[in-house]
A = this chain, B = another copy of it.
């Protein structure tokens, strides 16, 4: 590759994320490692098409739109350039490592990868945190206005979204040595359907329990109290409803807990189920039991075992 070509393209990698961590519906997200989406952004010399064009998408079986305005990567790129006040023309090549509709934050990963790569490509006019808003715009187009995938995908670690308007993100430390198991069954769930299954309102007493659970979870992360972490990972509101939509989902959660996980819940809106474990040995056992639970419901599945504390978006080339 010539020097000029190198300066004219950036490749970024952004990991899978777990949104809705336990009781943290819409507000608590965790970056994973070992799987993610990649975006190559190039300065485009073409004068045809919009400011951002998508040259190719690999790994989605042709199921994602190539129109930039309809694709989360494209939308994030457009909003990143708009926010930077630039009319630079950019072409994207997207490589999906995350399956569509799996609950691993695939749409967010592509959005963040595009925003991150495009910002670097044009000389980093925006700070990292300023890339969140363009990515939220992208998420809003496919899955509602929430930041609990895009924030950890960009920033890494465990992120509490205190507010999206104005944006306020809180990094929550994680106790050391935790392992995260994510099992993705071969069952596609539409994020919109999963949203429609939610109650429009909840009793005040339920709000109280849910807020106490989330606050206790945050406390456990700071104090390293794993027993409290275990108790407080239970979500009384959203997860029970959504687990009904995933064949074998409730059984997988129960199997994880039976096999020694600190806690287990849906990843995002599912169908992936995650478990947090205090050692690699337990994580291996938990993964096997969760897969068996899904198989028992007639579903093959894939496993990702990751450390809990991971970096987010990074440049790979």
Q: Is A108 an interface residue (CB 8 A)?
A: no
User: A-side interface residues toward B, CB under 8 Å?
Assistant: 23-28, 160-163, 168, 170, 172, 198-204, 206-219, 222-223, 228, 231-232, 237
List the B side residues contacting A27 at CB < 8 Å: 208, 211-212, 215
CB within 8 A of A204: which of B160, B162, B200? B200
Q: Judge whether A228 and B170 touch: CB under 8 Å.
A: yes
List 18 A-B residue pairs with CB atoms under 8 Å apart, sorted by A's residue number: A27-B212, A27-B215, A28-B215, A160-B215, A161-B212, A162-B212, A162-B213, A163-B209, A170-B228, A172-B219, A200-B203, A200-B204, A201-B202, A202-B202, A204-B237, A207-B207, A211-B211, A222-B222
Q: Give A209's nearest chain B residue, CB to CB.
A: B163
| A216 neighbours in B (Cβ, 8 Å) | 160, 162, 168, 170
Interchain CA distance A68-B28 in the complex, whole Å = 47
Residues of chain B within 8 A of A237, CB atoms compared: 204, 207
- Are A204 and B201 neighbours in the complex by a CB distance under 8 Å? yes
Q: Cβ of A208: which chain B residues have Cβ within 8 Å of it?
A: 25-27
